[in-house]
């Protein structure tokens, strides 16, 4: 019996999927999520190993006025947008690499991809898989926060504690989203 690669044994890399992406010869947009953050990288394959062209992490959004939590769908979009802006002039076309994450229609992985596409990178995709515009801007979070604030103050404070801790108003997430996006465009 032949011993498998360590990353395959640990269920950290699907080498068949990776080989298919590498054979395309295109730059990969690698989007990864944790419980509280997102990262997006544009990576080229070379014989010596992968070379990162541009990278962005959702924590970087704080420099641009994003005081809200960095693990939600709007921050995923902004992270992809920031990565795409950083790669401006270096990358024109890429393929999406979601790794071992599940492909969920309208999910945050596709929100990050939409951000990179809006920044000017061509990535083949179907418009059906993308999240709705009101979810990308966080309108769904704002609507829920307003409803909860009117009906149950204790639950509102519990659910939006991380927002309130940073003196951010969850009802104004769409406004904060637009301001952060403008700040990103002004920087790049």
Burial class for 155, CB neighbours closer than 10 Å (0-12, 13-18, 19+): exposed
List the domain range (segments joined by +) for residue 117.
6-133
Q: How far apart are CA 122 and CA 137, in angstroms?
A: 21
Q: What is the pLDDT of residue 173?
A: 95
How many folded domains does the chain comprise? 1
Whichever domain contains 91, its CATH number is 3.30.420.100
Q: What is the pLDDT of residue 38?
A: 97
Q: Is residue 187 domain-resident?
A: no
Q: Is residue 95 domain-resident?
A: yes
Segments of the chain scoring below 50 in pLDDT: none
51 beta partners: 44
Structure confidence by residue, pLDDT tens digits, 13-33: 777 777 777 778 899 999 999
Structure confidence by residue, pLDDT tens digits, 31-40: 999 989 999 9
Q: What is the pLDDT of residue 99?
A: 84
The encoded tokens of residue 84 equal 């795409």
Q: What is the pLDDT of residue 116?
A: 98
The model carries a pTM of 0.90
Q: What is the pLDDT of residue 21?
A: 76
- Helix or strand (DSSP H, E) at 40: strand 38-44
Please say whether the beta carbons of 67 and 160 come within 8 A: no
Q: What is the pLDDT of residue 18?
A: 74
Per-residue burial over 131-148, b = 16 or more CB atoms within 10 Å of its CB, e = otherwise: beeebbbbbbbbeebeeb
């Amino acid at each position: 019996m032949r011993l498998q690669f360590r990353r395959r044994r640990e269920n950290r890399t699907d080498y068949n999927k990776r080989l298919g992406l590498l054979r395309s010869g295109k730059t990969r947009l690698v989007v990864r999520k944790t419980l509280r953050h997102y990262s997006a990288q544009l990576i080229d394959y070379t014989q010596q190993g992968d070379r990162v062209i541009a990278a962005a992490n959702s924590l970087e959004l704080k420099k641009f006025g994003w005081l809200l939590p960095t693990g939600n769908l709007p921050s995923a979009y902004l992270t992809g947008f920031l990565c795409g802006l950083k790669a401006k002039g270096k990358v024109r076309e890429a393929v999406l690499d979601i790794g071992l994450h599940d492909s969920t229609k309208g999910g945050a992985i596709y929100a990050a991809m939409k951000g990179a596409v809006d920044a000017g990178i061509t990535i083949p995709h179907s418009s059906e898989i993308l999240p709705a515009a009101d979810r990308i801007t966080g309108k769904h979070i704002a609507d829920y926060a307003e409803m909860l604030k009117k009906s149950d103050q204790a639950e509102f404070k519990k659910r939006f504690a991380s927002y309130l801790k940073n003196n951010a108003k969850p009802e104004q997430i769409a406004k904060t989203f637009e301001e952060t996006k403008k700040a990103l465009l002004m920087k790049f």
